[in-house]
Amino acid sequence: MPRNADYLVSRADVTLSTAEDGEVRVNTGDKATGIGYAQDVSMWGLPGFISMPDAPDGDGACEVLCLADGFQTYAIAGRDNRYASKVGNFQPGDRGIVGNCDARVLLKKASNSVTLYTENGKALGVSMAMTLNGSTGEAMLINGGAIIKASHDEIVLSVGGTALVMNQDGLQIFGKHCAINTGSGNLGVLGNVPPPVGIMSVLAGPSGIMGAPSTRWTVALVFLLWMARAAWEFGARS
């Protein structure tokens, strides 16, 4: 096939990467022999996406296709298979952004999902991930044993055996201990109004006649009845 001598494409290794005002430029050559081909080569790619190749190391170097246009050389495409394994089991339609670090972005066609992933630098062996899964309708944030899961109608916060579940039916708290450390509050309401202080206060201090009505915490009768019923049902099941 005839070729135009003014437009030749060749393959080269990236031996050095720099950036000037955001424009990425590379030096090209052959890493194995140490021979240099060109300096200050402009790195071309898709509009809106800017990527600076990783430096060469013992595992190899980023490869580029170079277009010779007269006296000018342009790097028009590139690949770096040193990090290809970080995308996992890729299937047709999947996409990934990886590099010489733990952080990566993975798009999976089958699950209609996008995942941001990295490693926790403060806890050895702990993974961090955020996934938007279109097939399940769930968004999940994982940082070791700390998990936040949200669907369109429910949010679950979980750390080990402690969990907080919020949905349209109400709020549920699970765990060994629950502390509400606020200066004041109320348990239940009378219609839409908190129970009045004094009349429906929580007993403060020793029980019986030694106790005094709290000036900061109140409780509605309906809440007490609900608590009594819950305690009775729990005892009956036990």
Give the tens place of pLDDT for each residue, 103-143: 999 999 999 999 999 999 999 999 999 999 999 999 999 99
Alpha carbon of 68 to those of 39, 47, 217: distances in Å? Answer: 13, 21, 79
Residue 56 sits in a domain whose CATH number is: 2.40.50
| Domain co-membership, 165 together with 100 | yes
| Domain co-membership, 123 together with 199 | no
What is the domain range of residue 42? 7-79
Q: How confident is the model at residue 222 (pLDDT cuts 50, 70, 90)?
A: low
Number of domains in the chain: 3
Three-class DSSP category at 235: helix
| Domain co-membership, 99 together with 148 | yes
Among the candidates 153, 174, 195, a domain finishes at 174
- How far is the C-alpha of 195 from the C-alpha of 52, rounded, in Å? 63
Are 186 and 220 spatial neighbours (Cβ–Cβ below 8 Å)?
yes
Among the candidates 174, 195, 213, a domain finishes at 174
Q: List, in sequence order, every residue forming a beta bridge with 67; answer none if it has no partner.
A: 9, 74
Q: How confident is the model at residue 219 (pLDDT cuts 50, 70, 90)?
A: confident
CB atoms within 10 A of CB 155: 13
Residue 237: pLDDT above 60? no
Among the candidates 130, 150, 174, a domain finishes at 174
